[in-house]
Amino acid sequence: MDEITQVVRDYVVREYIEEGDDRQITETTPLISGGIVDSFSMVSLKRFLERKYHIQIPDACATPDAFDTVKSIVELVRRFQNAPAASICPP
């Protein structure tokens, strides 16, 4: 598991998995459709990613699909690390 994946997974487990909840979070566990992260909570997750990786994720790109798994979140982060936001998500 690479560093970004590890960081994102650890953050999801720490912040969104309740104590005593024995669900395992893998790279492909559905977070949004699985009810672990809802659309309201997604905002704080987005904020964490932006701060941690010094990126700006436009709201148009912060979709439930993009945040549905650790894998898709990591892909999103990598895209924004490698290119300016405007070239990835149209306003």
Partner 1 sequence: MPRASCLNYEEVTANFTWSIAEKELHYKPGEPINIGWMCSDRICQMGNERKLALIWENFQGEHRQYTFDDLRLLSNTIAQFVCDLGIKPRERVCLFMDRIPELYIGFLGILKTGAVAQPLFSAFGDESLLVRLKDAGTAAIFTQKKHVHKIRKIRDQLPDLRHIIVVDAGDSPLQEREIAFHMDEARRVEDFVVFPTFAESPSVLHYTSGTTGQPKGAQHVHYSIISQYLTSKWVLDLQPNDIYWCNADPGWVTGTSYGIIGPWSNGATQVVLDSGFNAESWYHFIEKQRVTVWYSAPTAIRLLMKEGKEIVRRHDLSSLRHLASVGEPLNPEAVIWSQEAYGRPFHDTFWQTETGCIVITNLPGMPIKAGSMGKPFPGITATVLDLTTFEPINQTGIAGLIALRPGWPSQIRGYWNNEAGFNAKFKNGWYLCGDRASIDADGYYWFMGRDDDVINTGGHLVGPFEIESALLEHPAVHESAAVAKPDPVNMEVVKAFVTLKPGYTPSDELELEIMNRIRKKLSPLAMPQEIEFVDSLPKTRSGKIVRRVLRCKEFHEPVGDLSTIMDD
- CA 37 distance to own-chain centroid: 10
Sort residue 56 into left (φ over 0), alpha (ψ -120 to 50) or beta: beta
Residue 72 beta carbon to partner 1: minimum distance, rounded to whole angstroms: 12
Complex with partner 1: residue 1 or 26, whichever CB lies closer: 26
Q: Which residues inside 5-24 make contact with partner 1, applying CB under 8 A?
A: 15, 18-23
CB atoms within 10 A of CB 69: 22
Binding site for partner 1 (CB under 8 A): 15, 18-23, 30, 32-41, 43-44, 47-48, 51, 63-65, 68
